[in-house]
Amino acid sequence: MPISVHIYPLSKLVHASAGSWETQLREIEEGKLHAYRYYLPLREAVVHYCKSHGKKLDQILQQLHSSATAVTAHRGANPLRDNRAAFDTFINSFYPRIGAFAQSFLREETKPVCAFEDLLLSGQPHFSVKDKSGETRFVYLHASKWDEDDLKSYLELLSIIVADRFSAPSTSIWCMDLRTGADYRWKSSPRIRTRCVNAARLFARLIEAMQRGE
């Protein structure tokens, strides 16, 4: 039976040495829920802002403040500051270039998966929009500081899901870098795809071996 994996941990392993995988997998799984929750207030605020056509800003900011202050943070981190700064960047740099909001993929009750090698990949863009030219774009809100190779791997894996679920090309992914205010443009890379294929095969073998207790 195929093994299910979210594209976040798999993307972190694509450029890692195979010998370090078991240790890294443990660390990634321990940090994955925290990473998801840290910028959840931002993602929900962005979707609500788009749905309201850029209105209800005070109400959205109040909810962002309430949600962000409830986030458990590591020492030195400031979820309220980081979520608010990323939200402000979205409003100033990206929202003016959105033509129309289309669909949110946050909190979907059914988590769709797609087959990739011996795995079932899960993961979604955060929402979809029409850009100013009328093209459908699948938005990924990139707010954390990632290694660039990890980001490339993530976007390649996300492009596999977008192609499977929406029959859309990798160039339809709109990666909004909320640290810089710039687009991170992605076009599927044969080199990165090959590395993702190899990582998926090795991941499946490793998990099977761990489950057998080898």
What is the DSSP annotation of 52-103?
TTT--HHHHHHHHHHHHHTS---TT--HHHHHHHHHHHIIIIIGGGEEEEEE
CATH code of the domain in which 58 resides: 3.90.320
Q: Longest Cα pair distance anywhere in the chain, in angstroms? A: 56
Domain tally for the chain? 1
pLDDT tens for the 214 residues of the chain, in order: 678 888 988 898 888 776 666 666 666 665 565 677 899 999 999 999 999 999 999 999 999 999 999 988 777 889 999 999 999 999 999 999 999 999 999 987 677 889 999 899 999 999 999 999 999 999 999 999 888 999 999 999 999 999 999 999 999 999 999 999 999 989 999 999 999 999 998 888 877 766 665 5
Beta bridge partners of 173: 138
Cα–Cα distance, 83 to 39 (Å, whole number)? 6
Is residue 4 within 8 Å of residue 119, measured between CB atoms?
A: yes
Ramachandran angles phi, psi of 146, nearest 5°: -115, 155
Distance of CA 160 to the CA centre of its chain: 13
| H or E segment and range at residue 179 | none
The domain in which residue 200 lies consists of 3-212
